[in-house]
Amino acid sequence: MKDKPGVIQRSLFGGESLPGQGTLFGDPNSAADQAVGRCVEQEMLLEHMGPTVEEPCRDLQEGLFHQGREKPFHEVREDIHHDVESELPAQDRLAEIDNLVVLRQTVLECRRCGLRQGARGAVFGEGNPAADIMFVGEGPGQREDELGRPFVGRAGQLLDLMLRSHGFSREEVFIANIVKCRPPGNRLPAPQEVEACLPNLEAQIRIIRPKIIVTLGALASQTLIDPGLRVTRDRGKWFQKDGVSYLTTFHPAAVLRDERNKKRLIWEDFASLRQKYTRLYGGKDTD
Ligand code: URA
């Protein structure tokens, strides 16, 4: 892809760069690092801008992968009816649910904690219902709450970039969060909110049966792997639990806040993910 002469481009990591400078990764004096940064950043900027609500509705995979909507997402969500026949309250039915469509309806109806009140609606998660790899973040932010999709703000753009740069597509993985509703002001979800919402994620994991779960940031890592885990110390490590391989890495938002110290490390973690996935399950190796 060619540079546009004279156009200042905004780095995904927050800075501005002149075309060709390649600010994304690595040593600014290294031609190789510049080339990698330039390629991925321009590809990202030109091809991977987030969807808008004005885009026509395109539901794939039984309505799980929303690229946009004909009407605002909260209205779509209010249209969803209680069509699951059961005597049990919605949340107690989780253990009985064996497909993501029904689970999604149940999660959208969830009122187990107060977060739903302050949010436009629950953000269920999206991607391949039979994904080998699942990514778990913290909780929806403002953009995610508006669109009803996980990781669609700046952190999501970085996640997309990491995926694409390591030969994965967003559609082949599944992306979810620890809590499904946006905490007010993007605060950290409280322990009782995490506890209330966790059965929703556990049901997603049970149904999707991923081989690998990548935990993005401290909350996801401590909730799913080990409460004593420290991301700065333990990132890049693999853990085995209940037949699933877990990889812990930084939350993309943390990388955006501390590009200098974290960008190369998250890149290494995604390279480790690609290597392990290729080694264990075949497929292309992007190295
Ligand atoms: N941060 C998260 O943890 N999850 C999202 O979906 C978006 C931002």
Residue 71, pLDDT > 50, answer no
How confident is the model at residue 109, as a pLDDT?
95
Min mean pLDDT across 69-78, 130-139, 162-171 is at: 69-78
Q: Which residue has the higher pLDDT, 124 or 48?
A: 124
- CATH 3.40.470.10 placement within the chain: 52-281
52-281 to CATH, choices 3.20.20.70, 3.40.470.10, 2.40.30.10, 3.40.50.300: 3.40.470.10
Q: Which residue has the higher pLDDT, 78 or 141?
A: 141
Which range scores top for mean pLDDT: 37-46, 88-97, 163-172? 163-172
Residues with CB under 6 A from ligand 1: 137-141, 144, 150-151, 153, 155-156, 177, 253
How confident is the model at residue 48, as a pLDDT?
36
How confident is the model at residue 87, as a pLDDT?
54
Residue 285, pLDDT > 70, answer no
DSSP lists the bridge partners of residue 107 as none
Residue 12, pLDDT > 70, answer no
Which alpha helices (H) appear in the chain, and where do they start and end? 31-47, 73-78, 100-108, 115-118, 142-147, 154-165, 191-208, 218-224, 231-234, 252-257, 259-281
Arithmetic mean of pLDDT over the chain: 78
How confident is the model at residue 174, as a pLDDT?
98
Confidence band, pLDDT 50/70/90 cuts, at residue 162:
very high
Min mean pLDDT across 17-31, 250-264, 265-279 is at: 17-31
pTM > 0.85: no
Q: Which residue has the higher pLDDT, 40 or 96?
A: 96
- Nearest residue (by CA) to ligand 1, atom 7, is 151
The number of the ligand 1 atom at minimal distance from the alpha carbon of 177 is: 4
Residue 37, pLDDT > 50, answer no
Identify how many contiguous H helices and E strands the chain contains and give both numbers: 11, 10
Contacts of 29 (CB under 8 A, 6+ apart): none
The number of the ligand 1 atom at minimal distance from the alpha carbon of 143 is: 7
How confident is the model at residue 85, as a pLDDT?
44
The number of the ligand 1 atom at minimal distance from the alpha carbon of 155 is: 8
